[in-house]
């Protein structure tokens, strides 16, 4: 079954990750019923959350945390503390002519997560007339940099997190390394996740 294949969600694929969260939403009737997920399906959600965290993808991580809560699990405190902090970066303001895409969906999904996590959502005061949502200070995560580094290692790449963590620490900036360290601390399954993520023979 698609949702019970954790290896699928250890590799960057946002389309698959969003499909996973939406399936859980449907199975739970948006939190009204226990979706009775298997341990493999719960692991799939954790792996999708790890990729979202490493990418600092607020929108996807919000959906993963909602899905975990609908499945009766409390998401990583590290993830949810960050979501709560980032909710303060949304600003509601009048739309101007020619305004492009805004951060409305992130704001909506983040506020939806907050409503289930006891955090503050829908911050800001709506303005009259056309509205746009701006997200200030949106961070960039190290996911791409880590992926590229592992790829270029070639045969020297290992699926053993403990073996690779020192090499990654040496090439990542301070903030990038902090995000990676927090990822490893956010779940007991990080070693299993990295085994699939690294795509190495051993």
In a domain, 175, yes or no: yes
Determine the 3-state secondary structure of 12 from DSSP: coil
Answer whether residue 137 is part of any domain.
no
* Spatial separation of the C-alpha atoms in residues 142 and 173, rounded to whole Å: 9
- Give how many domains the chain has, as a whole number: 1
- Residue percentage of the chain with pLDDT more than 90: 82
pLDDT at residue number 99: 63
pTM of this structure:
0.94
Predicted local confidence at residue 100, as pLDDT: 67
10 Å CB burial of residue 184 (0-12, 13-18, 19+) is middle
Strands (E) across the chain are located at: 90-94, 131-135
Range of the domain at 185: 143-198
Query: Is 104 inside a domain boundary?
Result: no
At 170, the pLDDT band (50, 70, 90 cuts) reads very high
**Per-residue model confidence as pLDDT tens digits over 171-199:** 999 999 999 999 999 999 999 999 999 98
- Indicate whether 119 belongs to any domain: no
Mean pLDDT (whole number) for 118-139: 85
Does residue 156 sit within a domain? yes
- Tell me the per-residue pLDDT of 49-104, one tens digit each, with 9 for 90 and over: 999 999 999 999 999 999 999 999 999 999 999 999 999 999 888 887 766 678 99
Q: Which of 4, 24, 113, 98 is nearest to 61 (CA)?
A: 113
């Amino acid at each position: 079954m698609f949702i019970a294949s954790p290896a699928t969600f250890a590799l960057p694929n946002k389309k698959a990750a969003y499909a996973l969260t939406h399936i859980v939403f449907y199975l739970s009737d948006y939190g009204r019923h226990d979706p009775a997920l298997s341990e493999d399906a719960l692991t799939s959600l954790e792996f999708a959350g790890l990729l979202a965290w490493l990418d600092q993808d607020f929108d996807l991580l919000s959906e993963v945390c909602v899905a975990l809560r609908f499945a009766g699990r409390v998401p990583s405190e590290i993830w949810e503390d960050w979501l709560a902090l980032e909710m303060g970066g949304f600003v509601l303001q009048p739309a101007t002519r020619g305004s492009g895409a805004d951060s409305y969906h992130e704001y909506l999904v983040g506020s939806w997560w907050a409503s289930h996590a006891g955090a503050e959502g829908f911050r800001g005061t709506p303005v009259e007339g056309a509205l746009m949502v701006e997200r200030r200070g949106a961070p960039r995560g190290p996911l791409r940099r880590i992926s590229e580094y592992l790829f270029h290692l070639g045969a020297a790449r290992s699926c053993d997190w403990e073996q690779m963590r020192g090499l990654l620490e040496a090439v990542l900036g301070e903030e990038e390394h902090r995000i990676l360290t927090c990822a490893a601390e956010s779940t007991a399954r990080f070693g299993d996740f990295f085994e699939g993520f690294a795509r190495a023979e051993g």
